[in-house]
Amino acid sequence: MWLIVGLGNPGEEYADTYHNAGFRVLERIAEQLHVRIKERCGPALISRQILLGGEAAAALVMPQTFMNRSGAALAPVFERFESSARDIIVVYDDLALPLGKLRVRQKGSAGGHNGIKSIISTLGSDEFLRVRVGIRPDRELGDVRDFVLSQVAKADRALLVQTEELAVKAVETLIADGIEKAMSEYNGIDLREGSAAEGRAKDN
């Protein structure tokens, strides 16, 4: 049973922030499959069982703790589905990656992301699958915390939406075809290249 865990902060005021990319990716998956992520399981919301990547059973999980306590929401979910770290895919925003890129990883450090720090602390391991959604724009940011909790800028929205849509496909590929296939298929994509080409075409 796969658990697809999207990271974000609960509450309408955070829904359209950069930090909630993980929530939005799960909402896209739920919309495609016509399910809702509404059932309570401890401090998390979960979907009913779905099929992803062919015939693999999965559930969508959105912790309702704040980001820096994301790991605390997982214990009841693991117990409910009799799952462990090897069964989860965590989807989250990553300021180390530029807008328009994502990274599929098998394990690794938190890289300064408080939600991932919390999950590593809870699991006692950094060996779990991740899909990292790039959110860093090509401009000076100032205070990092203020940026990730700010509403997505109009100039960034289209590229971030495309990246989140790509993350949905990466999750499906991870489940259907495994980590090596997903890494080779998605880690080299840079959606900025398409946007730049479109911009040049409009200028001409």
Q: Provide the residue-wise pLDDT of the chain in tens; the chain has 204 residues.
A: 899 999 999 999 999 999 999 999 999 999 999 999 999 999 999 999 988 877 789 999 999 999 999 999 999 999 999 888 889 999 999 999 999 999 999 998 888 899 999 999 999 999 999 999 999 999 998 899 999 999 999 999 999 999 999 999 999 999 999 999 999 999 999 999 875 444 433 444
Token pair for residue 119? 């999950």
Q: What is the pLDDT of residue 112?
A: 85
Token pair for residue 144? 């990092």
> What's the gap between Cα 94 and its chain centre?
9
CA dihedral 40, 45, 49, 53 (to 10 degrees): -170
118 backbone φψ class: left, alpha, beta (φ>0; ψ -120 to 50): alpha
Q: What is the pLDDT of residue 110?
A: 87
Q: What is the pLDDT of residue 201?
A: 39
Q: What is the pLDDT of residue 2?
A: 94
Instruction: In whole angstroms, give the CA distance from residue 67 to residue 90.
Output: 13
Other beta carbons within 10 angstroms of residue 141's beta carbon come to: 12
34 part of the active site: no
Amino acid code (one letter) for 134: G
| H or E segment and range at residue 46 | strand 44-46
CATH architecture, domain defined by 2-203? 3-Layer(aba) Sandwich (3.40)
Q: What is the pLDDT of residue 86?
A: 87
75 exposure class (CB count in 10 Å sphere: 0-12, 13-18, 19+): middle
Residue spans of the domains in the chain: they are 2-203
Token pair for residue 179? 């980590």
Q: What is the pLDDT of residue 195?
A: 59
Distances from the Cα of 126 to the Cα of 105, 106, 184, angstroms: 11, 9, 21
DSSP tag of 151 = B
Which of 2, 19, 62, 134 is catalytic? The answer is 19
Q: For residue 76, give the nearest of 43, 114, 33 by alpha carbon.
A: 43
